[in-house]
Amino acid sequence: MSIDINNLGNNPAPSSGSASEIKGAANESARADQSTGKSSVNDTVSLSETAIRLGQIGVAVENQPVVDTKRVEQVKQAILDGSYSVDPTRIAEKLMEFDMALKPKD
């Protein structure tokens, strides 16, 4: 059993209307495709201002360094000279905040 799949994607989806209108539109589209070799349907894409802005923000974020090398050097120097201090209470608070942020909201 064979199925003819040629030219399946060339015709636009039928809109509401009678069967004869749909058949006529499909035949007209097929004739236009055959005579010019091009589709008679023009596709367009438009982006909202928000989408454009999000794309710009994404590019800006990608261009940022992953590591703040200046801050890393400051911490290294503080560790080397013994001035780096650890606040266990602050660490515990931040861990709890992180844990709470991971829990699903009920």
Output the average pLDDT for the chain.
78
Exposure on the CB side of residue 51, measured as CA atoms within 13 A: 4
Whole-number pLDDT of residue 31: 59
Dihedrals φ, ψ of 43, to 5°? -95, 140
> Residue 95 gets which letter from DSSP?
H
pLDDT digits 0-9 by tens, 43-53: 888 889 999 99
Query: What is the full DSSP assignment across 85-100?
Result: ---HHHHHHHHHHHHH
The Cα–Cα gap between 9 and 41 comes to 12
pLDDT digits 0-9 by tens, 64-102: 888 889 999 999 999 999 999 999 999 999 999 999 999
